[in-house]
């Protein structure tokens, strides 16, 4: 399942939207019971979760559930979400490792009650607080369930990350580069190898702008993105899928290096650049990703 290149937000109270999400082939759907659900519909959203997750599982699509910030009702939200097919919970506005550890324990209890193997469900911390951003590496280290830190790449319309950090989002995004890169590094340093970026803050129908943000997320190091509109899923899948040119390049690189090894060499010139053992892991990862897409 991991890395998940594209995740599409779906308000969990809109039961019929799950089938629409499946039709655009995201890697996962983010069943939301937080910001996109009006308060009066949150009980209905929770009631829908298990049937929605089952529908996603049958379609081979991952299922994230974005719960509300940790509070007295979190145990009930997690109990409503944990079922076979749940890939991870997204924890918004996380500030401390203790919150991650609390969610870890609640998930362990819910998994036991649901008859699932311990550790089945992952955690994606969404640190929309200054403290959470600052301490993101320790958020990643707080539980073996943490699959990746959930960051954000925004267009000129500011959201929770901008408000908490204090920057003013622009189309160029220079003010976000430090935070976006830091969260990727913190995630990987903490052992959570699949950081994800939410793509926000730009008009939904401005597809070139959406693609620029997704490419920025990929180039910074995020292994996938969460998007808000079905038309953005195909863009994300295409951006994260290795191109034919990349496949040809890395296939040739590996072949050239194998020939060099047979000649007793540990480095070789390939397309004008020196290649040694340090370049091989990336080449193999790219080719493995390309094979996974076929």
**Residue 170: DSSP 8-state:** -
pLDDT digit string, tens, across residues 237-250: 999 998 899 999 99
**Which residues have a Cβ under 8 Å from the Cβ of 177 and sit 6 or more positions away?**
220
Q: Is the pLDDT of residue 210 over 50?
A: yes
Pair 229, 289 in one domain? no
- Residue 89 in this model has a pLDDT that exceeds 80: yes
- The answer on 268 and 253 residing in a single domain is yes
Average pLDDT, the chain: 94
d(C-alpha 285, C-alpha 269), whole Å: 21
Res 125: pLDDT: 98
Q: What is the CATH number of the domain that holds 236?
A: 3.20.20.60
Pair 15, 88 in one domain: yes
Strands, E assignment, the chain: 6-11, 28-32, 62-66, 86-92, 122-126, 150-154, 196-200, 224-227, 267-270, 273-276
On the question of pLDDT at 294 being above 50, the answer is no
**Mean per-residue pLDDT, 63-67:** 97
128 among the known binding-site residues?
Answer: yes
DSSP state of 195: -
84 is in an annotated binding site: no
CB of 247 within 8 A of CB of 287? Answer: yes
Write down the pLDDT at residue 112. 97
- What are 139's two structure tokens? 């958020």
Inside any domain, residue 197: yes
**Residues 273 and 139 placed together within one structural domain of the fold:** no
Q: Are 92 and 138 within one domain?
A: yes
Q: Across the chain, which distance is largest between two alpha carbons, in Å?
A: 71
Instruction: Look up the domain containing 146 and give its range.
Output: 6-240
User: Does residue 77 lie in a domain region?
Assistant: yes
Q: What average pLDDT does the segment 111-116 reach?
A: 97
Specify the 3-state DSSP secondary structure of 156: coil
Q: Is 73 within a domain?
A: yes
As a three-state string, the secondary structure of 259-292 is HHHHCCCCEEEECCEEEEHHHHHHHHHHHHHHHH
Q: Are 130 and 252 in the same domain?
A: no
Higher pLDDT, 35 or 60: 60
Annotated binding residue 135 = no
Overall number of domains in the chain:
2
Contact present, 200 and 155 (Cβ < 8 Å) = yes
Distance between CA atoms of residues 4 and 289, nearest Å:
11
pLDDT at residue 269 in the model: 85
In a domain, 1, yes or no: no
Q: Is the pLDDT of residue 194 over 60?
A: yes
Q: Is the pLDDT of residue 141 over 80?
A: yes
Residues 269 and 227 in one domain: no
Pair 199, 64 in one domain: yes
Q: Strands 273-276 and 267-270, how do they pair?
A: antiparallel
Q: Does some domain include residue 172?
A: yes
Please identify, among 240, 256, 274, the residue that sits at the C-terminal boundary of a domain: 240
Q: Do 278 and 259 have their domain in common? A: yes
The rounded distance, in Å, linking the Cα atoms of 96 and 138 is 8
Q: Which of 225, 240, 255 is the last residue of a domain?
A: 240
Name every residue whose Cβ is closer than 8 Å to that of residue 56 and which is 6 or more positions away in sequence. 18, 22, 28, 29, 62, 63, 85
* DSSP conformation class of 157: S
- Span 141-145, mean pLDDT? 98
pLDDT in tens, 180-190: 999 999 999 99
Query: In the prediction, which pLDDT does 293 show?
Result: 58
Question: Cα(115)–Cα(227) distance, rounded to whole angstroms?
Answer: 32
Asked whether residue 163 falls in the same domain as residue 248, the answer is no
Q: Are residues 285 and 194 in the same domain?
A: no
Tell which phi-psi region holds residue 166, choosing left (phi > 0), alpha (psi between -120 and 50) or beta: left
> Are 76 and 160 found together in one domain?
yes
137: left (phi over 0), alpha (psi -120 to 50) or beta: alpha
Tell me the C-alpha distance between 21 and 226, whole Å.
Answer: 13
- Own/partner contacts of 253-259, CB < 8 Å, gap of 24 or more, are 253/279, 253/283, 254/280, 254/283, 254/284, 254/287
């Amino acid at each position: 399942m991991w890395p998940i290149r594209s995740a599409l937000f779906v308000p969990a109270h809109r039961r019929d939207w799950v089938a629409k999400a499946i039709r655009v082939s995201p890697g996962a759907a983010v069943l939301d019971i937080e910001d996109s659900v009006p308060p009066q519909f949150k009980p209905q959203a929770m009631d829908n979760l298990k049937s929605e997750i089952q529908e996603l599982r049958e379609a081979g699509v991952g299922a994230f559930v974005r719960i509300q910030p940790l509070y007295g009702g979190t145990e009930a939200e997690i109990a409503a979400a944990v079922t076979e097919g749940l890939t991870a919970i997204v924890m918004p506005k996380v500030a401390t490792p203790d919150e991650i550890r609390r969610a870890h324990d609640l998930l362990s209890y819910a998994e036991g009650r649901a008859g699932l193997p311990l550790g089945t469900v992952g955690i994606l911390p969404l640190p929309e607080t200054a403290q959470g951003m600052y301490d993101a590496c320790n958020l990643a280290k707080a539980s073996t369930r943490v699959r990746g830190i959930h960051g954000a790449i925004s267009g000129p319309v500011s959201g929770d990350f901008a408000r908490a950090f204090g920057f003013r989002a622009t189309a160029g995004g220079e003010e976000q580069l430090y935070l976006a890169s830091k969260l990727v590094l913190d995630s990987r340093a903490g052992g959570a190898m699949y950081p994800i970026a939410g793509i926000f803050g730009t008009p939904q129908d401005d597809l070139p702008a959406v693609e620029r943000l997704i490419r920025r997320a990929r180039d910074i190091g995020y292994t996938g993105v969460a998007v808000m509109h079905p038309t953005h899923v195909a863009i994300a899948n295409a951006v994260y899928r290795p191109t034919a040119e990349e496949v040809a390049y890395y296939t040739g690189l590996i072949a050239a290096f194998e020939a060099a090894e047979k000649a007793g060499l540990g480095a070789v010139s390939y397309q004008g650049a020196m290649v040694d053992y340090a370049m091989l892991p990336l080449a193999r990862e790219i080719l493995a990703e390309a094979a996974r897409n076929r």
